[in-house]
Amino acid sequence: MSISRSRPSPSSCRAALITASSAPAPVRAHATPSSCGRARTSVSGARGGRERGEGRAGARDMCAATLLLLAALPALAGRAGWCAGGEVVSVLEAAGAAGGGPAFAPQQRTSVLAPLGHAATLECRVLRLQDKSVSWVRSRDLQILSHAGFVFTADARVSAASAPPARDAATRHTLRIERLRAADAGRYECQVNTEPKMSLFFNLTVVDEPVPEVVVSVLGSSVVRVRAGAAATLACEARYEPAPRALPLPALDVRWARGAEPVALQGARGGVALETARWPARVESRLTLAGAGASDAGAYSCSAAGRAATLTLLLDDDGDRAEAMQRDQAAARAPRSLRALPALLALPLLLLRAGIYTRGHSARHTLLGRARPAARNMITVAIALVALVALYLYGTRTFGYWRNKGVKHDKPIVLVGNNAPVYLMQKSVTEMATELYWKYPKEKVVGFFRSTHPELVIRDPEIIKRILLTDFQYFYPRGLNPHKTVIEPMMRNLFFADGDLWKMLRQRITPAFTSGKLKAMFPLIVERAEKLQARALAAAAAGRPLDSRDLMARYTTDFIGACGFGLDADSLNDEDSAFRKLGASIFQVGVKEAIIAMLKEMFPEWCKHLKYMGRVEQPLIDLVSAILKQRNYEPSGRNDFIDLLLECKKKGKMMVESVERVKADGTPEITTMELTDELIAAQVFVFFAAGFETSSSATSFTLHQLAFHPEEQRKVQREIDAVLARHGGRLSYDAVQEMTYLECAFKEGMRMFPSLGFLIRTCARTYTIPELGVTIDPDVGVTIPLQALHNDPQYFPEPHEFRPERFLPHQQDDSTKFVYLPFGDGPRACIGLRMGLMQSLAGLAAVLSRFEVAPAPRTLRHPRVDPRSGIVQSIQDGLPLAFTERTPSAPAAH
């Protein structure tokens, strides 16, 4: 069950904002409350009419400025401030509404349930359409089905029609689908070609059983009698009968009306609250009217899916106390911090009155320049107080977001939200997400605030599937760049990019990771694997332990240097390899980097030019530029990553259908972009960063687990020996493909300690989670806590036991399909999955074919995670292991 509450914003918010944004300067022309009058009279003791005049002008200007700040503060407060639960209305928006432009009619049926093989009709009603047109778009593939009544699909089952305005003055636009198939289920968009586009989303559910009826009934008595001035609560429920077997069902949305008019939660009346409790096939709704008066009495109806129930509200006349009770209830509803706000903001005025315009103040002294020190101190205090109040409002403006939607969450802290341990480098983001996962075991989703940005931690595999795959068009951005337009050069890469840039890069770079290209790279891997064995052999001969994480990081660095840059980094032999230091520096998070990341999240507009990757940006750009010039901007035939990017550059501009912009006719715009040297450097950066850290982390942790599980280690080694014997004792691409149990051990290591501790997405368009009926808005982040999911016993029994057999083919089932996600899933899954897997298995095979690994004296059974870890998890203090040379066993099939 989920519970959500909606409360309106007071009408004074709207009035204050319109006044603040439309008032000309000076403000005194329209605002002269008594506080200003008192400020003007405070100069009555000054000498001379001229002094009094200047004093009055100064006081008037200061009072006017403070009033302007008072009027503007609700805009700072946003949804969590004075206007909690409602929208902020600007003068332009108000003018647009008054102008009578197109709008969607209220109380539309946006959830449609239909049986397989039957027909379904979606009806979209638009007010004041004028010269605009309506399109129907299928959301899962962004296919335009119709425009202005004309069908644009070859599917003969689809038809569209438009009807002229009816009694409610709305034109009706229908989309009908005959002979429904299971694949027809999903979201459909009714789009009006205004600028910007207007959209209303419809959800179609197709069930393979008779469609249950929707029944709406009153909870309790259908006649509600209260005293005038008391709170009145009306309750009803909507449910499916009989309870259907097929789930999920369209969420039942209950709407309230008084007579023929919808009940306005955000109307001028104020004091209207709606509480909703949901179950899979039932919803309860309670409408509360605080301080009910004579104008509230009458017939009410609650409706859902075209069904309705009627209630009557009657009032016992007790008008003597009604007004006082309503006033008291309104005061009680106001948050305590906001009730104190007028007093806080009045303090600067009192200080100014007491300290500046005192008897004997000379008109020759200016207000801010030559006033006596006490007055200047008071001005400083006043400004500081106002700044603190403004900062508080800014830092809490979104904190009502999850509460208003009925989503459970921890209490946030001003400005930092729930992210304080991350900012203080006490916990990693993965640890924070894991804690929330286990703290709310009965919830499908949990709210979270990263600074003031609302995010959602997903605990349910079905919702994860929707986000990553089924409804990907709503969640294609990762949203890792705090500012949408000012992006660091190194962040304009395939992993961090969103929107059209991501789509173009993905399209161009995908050919780099075909099986043929990976096979061609394998000789480079073999060379590095031999150097890896040599380094381990030297340590084994000396009897000293090796940090397996450092060892595998050097192997990975050398591979990336060869396959990515065409360079011999030689970090396995050179302790001071510059290439190794560059790779390590990418993931070093110091106090400076932590502060920059925090400021960019808290104040994205003000801190948009701060660079988190500034320390590696120029060295990488210089390195890539040198390589490009050396190759004369032509592919060299090395078949490395830079060669691929040069081939992409030779093809000319990148060109794709936009996922962000559409033409006036509703079709996607064509977006083009040049692959510049800076963009090439950014792709090389992410190739380096992703390959370096993820592979070294995963392989070293797998070696660590095999060291503590010698029986599993022997199983893996017997398989490696047998495979190599069949391939003449040489490591090859085909040989690695046959090492199935080694792959199982690696996957089990990735399950226990995934390199990516979490996946992140950002909502691109308003989206309602069907299982919960919770609607999330654009720019709300979504976190999938992989570390927690991978170690949940309901998906992986005995999750803390290292059991590679979990991943044998006959052990696999669909229950963990969207739980085990070390490389992600869907269109934004890791593009280098096969390369990373090949590189990692080859490195493990090279080590385990020659050496046995065992815990060293300093080896921890459960290594500690570095709290400074970002997206990629890192082990604190390394993973030391003892390496002993072994004699390969006789060939035997595993």
In tens, the pLDDT along 340-385 reads 444 444 555 555 555 544 444 444 444 445 556 677 788 888 888 9
**pLDDT at residue 368, as a whole number:** 44
Lowest mean pLDDT across 243-252, 273-282, 453-462, 861-870: 243-252
**pLDDT at residue 346, as a whole number:** 52
- Joined together, the tokens standing for residue 103 give 């709008």
* Contact between 285 and 25 (Cβ < 8 Å): no
Q: Is the pLDDT of residue 653 over 90?
A: no
Under DSSP, the state recorded for 46 is: S
CA distance 215 to 223: 19
Q: Is the pLDDT of residue 284 over 70?
A: yes
Q: Is 124 annotated as a binding residue?
A: no
CA distance 234 to 224: 7
- Joined together, the tokens standing for residue 387 give 């700044």
**What would the mean pLDDT of 109-116 be, rounded to a whole number?**
86
Lowest mean pLDDT across 220-229, 263-272, 623-632: 263-272
Under DSSP, the state recorded for 224 is: E
Burial of residue 343 (CB within 10 Å: 0-12, 13-18, 19+) is exposed
Domains 96-211 and 214-333 share a fold: yes
- Joined together, the tokens standing for residue 610 give 């701060």
Q: Which carries the bigger pLDDT value, residue 269 or residue 134?
A: 134
Q: Which carries the bigger pLDDT value, residue 720 or residue 367?
A: 720
**pLDDT at residue 155, as a whole number:** 85
**What would the mean pLDDT of 809-838 be, rounded to a whole number?**
87
Q: Is the pLDDT of residue 134 over 90?
A: yes
Phi, psi of 514 (to 5 degrees): -75, 160
**pLDDT at residue 229, as a whole number:** 86
- Is 221 in a helix, a strand, or coil? coil
Q: Which carries the bigger pLDDT value, residue 86 or residue 201?
A: 201
Q: What CA dihedral angle connects 865, 868, 873 and 875, to 10 degrees?
A: -40
Lowest mean pLDDT across 356-370, 381-395, 442-456, 808-822: 356-370
**What would the mean pLDDT of 430-459 be, rounded to a whole number?**
95
The 10s digit of each residue's pLDDT in 757-806 is 999 999 998 999 988 989 999 999 999 999 999 999 999 999 999 999 99
**Closest to 190 in 3D by CA, of 97, 108, 116:** 108
- 111-115 and 198-207 strand pairing: parallel
**pLDDT at residue 855, as a whole number:** 94
Q: Is the pLDDT of residue 393 over 80?
A: yes
Q: pLDDT grade, residue 210 (50/70/90)?
A: low
Q: Which helix (H) or strand (E) holds 774?
A: strand 774-776
Instruction: Give the percent of the chain with pLDDT over 90.
Output: 37
* Contact between 371 and 354 (Cβ < 8 Å): no
Q: pLDDT grade, residue 746 (50/70/90)?
A: very high
734 to 299, 514, 737, 738, 890: CA distances (angstroms)? 77, 15, 5, 7, 20
Residue type, 375: A
Q: Which carries the bigger pLDDT value, residue 691 or residue 524?
A: 524
Q: Is the pLDDT of residue 592 over 50?
A: yes
- 445-450 and 453-458 strand pairing: antiparallel
Cis peptide bond upstream of 196, omega within 30: yes
- 767-769 and 774-776 strand pairing: antiparallel
- Average pLDDT across the chain, whole number: 79
Q: pLDDT grade, residue 245 (50/70/90)?
A: low
Q: The whole model's pTM is what?
A: 0.61
The 10s digit of each residue's pLDDT in 32-71 is 333 333 333 333 333 344 444 444 444 444 444 443 344 3
Q: Which of the following CATH numbers is that of domain 96-211: 3.30.460.20, 2.60.40.10, 3.30.70.20, 3.40.190.10?
A: 2.60.40.10
**What would the mean pLDDT of 205-212 be, rounded to a whole number?**
76
Residue type, 833: L
Most confident of 92-96, 151-155, 476-480, 615-619: 476-480
Lowest mean pLDDT across 137-146, 634-643, 708-717, 746-755: 634-643
- Joined together, the tokens standing for residue 581 give 């230091």
CA distance 467 to 470: 7
Over its C-alpha atoms, the chain yields an Rg (Å, rounded) of 33
CA distance 576 to 834: 30
Lowest mean pLDDT across 362-371, 492-501, 591-600: 362-371
Q: Is the pLDDT of residue 816 over 60?
A: yes
812 to 189, 716, 734, 804, 818: CA distances (angstroms)? 37, 19, 24, 12, 13
Instruction: Give the percent of the chain with pLDDT over 70.
Output: 79
Most confident of 94-103, 410-419, 549-558, 568-577: 410-419
**pLDDT at residue 167, as a whole number:** 65
CA distance 723 to 414: 59
Q: Chain centroid to CA 235: how far?
A: 35
**pLDDT at residue 24, as a whole number:** 36
Could you give the maximum distance between any two Cα atoms of the chain, in Å?
112
**pLDDT at residue 325, as a whole number:** 40
**Closest to 533 in 3D by CA, of 521, 557, 509, 551:** 551
Q: Which of the following CATH numbers is that of domain 214-333: 3.30.300.130, 2.60.40.10, 2.60.40.420, 1.10.357.10?
A: 2.60.40.10
CA distance 279 to 277: 7
85 to 453, 679, 841, 894: CA distances (angstroms)? 16, 42, 53, 63
CATH H superfamily, domain 489-885: Cytochrome P450 (1.10.630.10)
* Contact between 467 and 784 (Cβ < 8 Å): yes
* Contact between 219 and 247 (Cβ < 8 Å): no
What residue segments make up the domains of the chain, in order of their start?
A: 2-84+338-393, 96-211, 214-333, 489-885
CA distance 865 to 197: 46
